[in-house]
Amino acid sequence: MLKIGILGGGQLGRMLLQAAANYPVITHVMESDPECPAAHLCHQFTRGDIRNFEDVYQFGKGLDGISIEIESVNVEALEKLESEGIRVYPSPSALRIIRDKILQKQFYKEHDIPTSPFYVTQNRDELRKHDGFLPAVHKMGSGGYDGRGVQILSHAGELHKGFDAPSILERKVNIHKEISQIIAMNRKGETAIFPAAEMIFDPVHNQLDYQLSPAEIPQQSLWRIEAIALKVVKDLKTPGIFAVELFIDKNGDILVNETAPRVHNSGHHTIEANYCSQFDMLWRVMLDYPLGNPKQILPSAMVNLVGSEGQSGEACYEGLEDVLKLENAFLHLYGKKETRPGRKMGHVTILSTDKSDLVYKARTIKQKLRITSKQPV
């Protein structure tokens, strides 16, 4: 049986392992926290630092293939492993481009992939020269995730909030909708395109509030989104699974925001809502099996369950019964011992043919389910 390793043991790793249980594969996970969400579902857990060359190299050496659930991994070690014949999903060369927002934006520009115009700024002094480009969004080249490392600069008086590190300053998009397009590509270059999902953001935590799939957008826009996302994946020239995040602006123009070269939060609904989930699909890619059917069985909404404000410590789940009695609501808790404000602790997917039913249930779940700590601090 093939031995496949995953770098990182969070919820994405956990759901990958749940799907792996259906395939002939031996799973390995490396992560620094032995109590992480994926630790107890793999065949072999290795405690280690995914950013450390030696740890990643030693972990990968005996494996047939290796994948990631987070971009901040040691790419040099993955390059060495690749040169020794271990299959890496996504390829280290694609990962190098994507994990640095500067290289990623330059990649879009070089490949004629529509994205909002931008400048590269090395430090805050350089940023100040672009006061005529505002309103804009300043994004750190590396090190940011889930909204950290992203700063909206509306006018010159806010330039001091920008990053004093290599970053991109990109024109602020007048966003109509945020869309995620998930595409898998196998080693033969065959692709499976999931229906696009629409994301609604929570302005307080700057992370996904709830998500609807399929996205409610005109067919013309859907085709354009598919074509653009497909070009991103083909030009990255690597097998794997990709979530291409795009904006539709108020003029109806479509711009790529960023790409994740891995399974993604915006694809959790595919576990119940699609014939083949994003997790199942990645195993098919890594194990060289035929791609699955990405089509949707029923429309869905997905709600992230995040730790309540002002609550840190051992997690308590209030209102689980209210959620579990909803028809076609599917609960996923990630098994994280400790909650913190805004921490992703689980998600719920709802299926329904009726859009208002989806939105009503998404709101109900957000209202009824609270993740608190036993000892509020």
Which one of residues 172, 176, 231, 295 is an interface residue with ligand ADP (CB under 6 A)? Answer: 172
- For residue 207, the minimal CB distance to ligand ADP (Å) is 8
Which one of residues 116, 180, 211, 300 is an interface residue with ligand ADP (CB under 6 A)? Answer: 116
- For residue 252, the minimal CB distance to ligand ADP (Å) is 16
Contact status: 201 vs ligand ADP (CB under 6 A): yes
Contact status: 222 vs ligand ADP (CB under 6 A): no
Contact call for residues 266 and 209 (beta carbons, < 8 A): no
Contact status: 173 vs ligand ADP (CB under 6 A): yes
Query: x/- binding map, residues 248-287, to ligand ADP, per CB under 6 A?
Result: ---------xx-----------------------------
Contact call for residues 149 and 193 (beta carbons, < 8 A): no
Q: Nearer to ligand ADP by C-beta: 144 or 341?
A: 144
Contact status: 69 vs ligand ADP (CB under 6 A): no
Q: Which of 144-152, 223-231, 275-283, 346-354 is the region at the interface with ligand ADP (rule: CB under 6 A)?
A: 144-152
State how far the Cα of 63 lies from the Cα of 69, in Å rounded to an integer.
17
Phi, psi of 316, deg, nearest 5: -125, 140
Nearest Cα residue to 15 out of 210, 272, 268, 184: 268
Q: Tell me how long the chain is.
A: 377
Contact call for residues 217 and 248 (beta carbons, < 8 A): yes
- For residue 148, the minimal CB distance to ligand ADP (Å) is 6
The strand pair at 175-185 and 197-202 is best described as antiparallel
Q: In the sheet that 25-31 helps form, which strands lie side by side, from edge to edge? A: 44-47, 25-31, 2-7, 65-68, 87-89
Q: Nearer to ligand ADP by C-beta: 12 or 42?
A: 12
State how far the Cα of 39 lies from the Cα of 32, in Å rounded to an integer.
10
DSSP 369: -
The strand pair at 25-31 and 2-7 is best described as parallel
Contact status: 113 vs ligand ADP (CB under 6 A): no
Burial class (CB in 10 A: 0-12, 13-18, 19+), 43: middle
- For residue 250, the minimal CB distance to ligand ADP (Å) is 11
Contact status: 178 vs ligand ADP (CB under 6 A): yes
- For residue 107, the minimal CB distance to ligand ADP (Å) is 15
Q: Nearer to ligand ADP by C-beta: 149 or 166?
A: 149
At 354, the amino acid letter reads D
- For residue 33, the minimal CB distance to ligand ADP (Å) is 22
Cβ atoms within 10 Å of 133's Cβ, excluding its own: 16
Q: Which two tokens stand for residue 234?
A: 């083909």
Which one of residues 28, 87, 130, 139 is an interface residue with ligand ADP (CB under 6 A)? Answer: 139
Residues that bind ligand ADP (CB under 6 A): 116, 137, 139, 144-147, 149-150, 170, 172-173, 175, 178, 201, 245, 257-258
